[in-house]
Amino acid sequence: MPTMADVARHAGVSVATVSHVLNDTRPVLPHTRQAVLDAIDELGYTPNTLARSLVTSRTRSIGLAVSAISNPYFTEILQGVEAGALEQGYSLLIADPHDEPEHERKVVQLLHERRVDGLIVAPSADPRGLLSYLTRHAVPTVLLDRVVDAAADGAPRFDQVCAENAAPTARLVAHLAELGHRRIALVAGLPGLSTTGERISGYRHGLAAAGLPYDERLLAHGDSASAGAERATAALLAQAAPPTALVTANNAMTIGALRALRDRGLSVPEDIALCCFDDFAWADVFSPRLTAIAQPSRDLGALAVRVLLERLAAPDRPARTVRLPCTFVHRTSCGCTDGTSPDDSDSSDSSDSSEEGSAL
């Protein structure tokens, strides 16, 4: 098996230069770097990552803890994280916290004990144990998709990467109101999640902007799951004055809502209009095609990696929250026969990512 010394001899450089090329610890002239890379390729040299980690105190690995990895939304985020990590020469260790606070803390501890250089975590509805562990052990961490409360001075305690939630939800409500709907219901996610709170806030702002009153009977929690949304939608439809339009707050709940509507023999959009948060692969092949908010899932994953690596390079810089815009994908489940409307000139809810000094 070729060694680093063999690579150095083959390239006509010192072992230290080979080390600098492998570890990016010092600038190397382009032609020298290429000679080393060619020697590595020709000899079939494989770096000893364990030995390297003992020298550098880095394993070049990232821990990722996200729940419901089977969910298409998180699957796409995972693809973004994996691509971003691989591009920077990092491996990925993955765990599913199942949105259970105690299990979440345990899996994060296991990842940390495997000496990952940093963590990317989508926190649960009650992340107190998680945040306590991360703070106590000073683990470089990026919180993904969901944000947590800021410290007393208003600054975020951890780096956070997420999509916009309130404005895109308000956009869905405004569109339904423009189509003449006055009883617009929301099937919201699991209480305690920041995404749930922000999308409820967007729903209420959308109603207010349209001059519609907020009616708490039109807000039901589907707990971010298909079965929960099926129950919540059934309860909304059982009211004496049921909604004429429905907004579902994630892709799993969209499926549950559609099941409830089917079971009652209701057609979309003839009997009830439907808009959803989260676009997914099948949304365009449903009949009708689903009007949705599309999140930049892969971009979120890749950005989380970049923010984490920036944290590793500058451990003392202030924490920040970065948000990416979503896109309004206009189809026909809202009741528009051709998937176009007067407000389609701008399909993005914001043109640039935003960076906040504190979490929302």
Per-residue pLDDT tens for 109-158? 999 998 899 999 999 999 999 999 999 999 999 999 999 976 656 678 89
Q: How many domains does the chain have?
A: 3
User: Is there a contact between 131 and 157 (Cβ–Cβ < 8 Å)?
Assistant: yes
Instruction: Look at residue 339 and tell me if it is in a domain.
Output: yes
Instruction: Look at residue 123 and tell me if it is in a domain.
Output: yes
* Domain at 268, CATH number: 3.40.50.2300
Pair (85, 26) in one structural domain: no
Angstrom distance (rounded) from CA 251 to CA 99: 17
Angstrom distance (rounded) from CA 52 to CA 103: 32
Q: DSSP for 67-89?
A: S-TTSHHHHHHHHHHHHHHHHTT
pLDDT digits (tens, 9 = 90+) for 231-266: 999 999 999 999 999 999 999 999 999 999 999 999
Instruction: Look at residue 358 and tell me if it is in a domain.
Output: no
What pLDDT was estimated at residue 354?
Answer: 55
Instruction: Look at residue 53 and tell me if it is in a domain.
Output: no
Instruction: Look at residue 338 and tell me if it is in a domain.
Output: yes
| Count of C-beta atoms within a 10 Å radius of residue 259 | 16
Q: Which residue has the tokens 């004429």?
A: 244
Pair (148, 205) in one structural domain: no
Burial 208-226 (b: 16+ CB within 10 A, else e): eebebeeeeebbbbbbbbb
Pair (173, 68) in one structural domain: no
In angstroms, the Cα distances linking 277 to 2, 65, 132, 253 are 53, 23, 31, 9
Residue ranges, the chain, pLDDT below 70: 47-58, 68-70, 150-154, 338-360
Angstrom distance (rounded) from CA 360 to CA 340: 32
Q: Note if the bond before 269 is cis, omega within 30 degrees.
A: yes
Left if phi > 0, otherwise alpha if psi is -120 to 50, otherwise beta: which for 324? Answer: beta
Pair (234, 343) in one structural domain: yes
Pair (94, 153) in one structural domain: yes
pTM: 0.80
What pLDDT was estimated at residue 73?
Answer: 84
Angstrom distance (rounded) from CA 305 to CA 62: 9
Print the domain residue range for 131: 61-162+298-324
Instruction: Look at residue 360 and tell me if it is in a domain.
Output: no
Pair (225, 332) in one structural domain: yes
| Count of C-beta atoms within a 10 Å radius of residue 142 | 26
Pair (28, 149) in one structural domain: no
Q: Which residue has the tokens 């409500």?
A: 173
Pair (150, 185) in one structural domain: no
Helix (H) or strand (E) holding 208: helix 194-209
What pLDDT was estimated at residue 58?
Answer: 62
Pair (277, 174) in one structural domain: yes
Phi, psi of 11 (to 5 degrees): -90, -10
What pLDDT was estimated at residue 346?
Answer: 46
What pLDDT was estimated at residue 138?
Answer: 93
Instruction: Look at residue 101 and tell me if it is in a domain.
Output: yes
Pair (266, 319) in one structural domain: no
Can you list the positions of beta strands (E) in 77-165? 91-95, 118-121, 141-144, 159-163
What pLDDT was estimated at residue 69?
Answer: 65
What pLDDT was estimated at residue 107?
Answer: 94
Pair (122, 270) in one structural domain: no
What pLDDT was estimated at residue 221?
Answer: 98
Can you list the positions of beta strands (E) in 140-242? 141-144, 159-163, 184-188, 219-221
The count of C-alpha atoms lying within 13 angstroms of the C-alpha of 51, restricted to the half-sphere facing its C-beta, is: 7
Burial group, residue 11, by CB count within 10 angstroms (0-12, 13-18, 19+): buried
Instruction: Look at residue 55 and tell me if it is in a domain.
Output: no
What pLDDT was estimated at residue 345?
Answer: 41
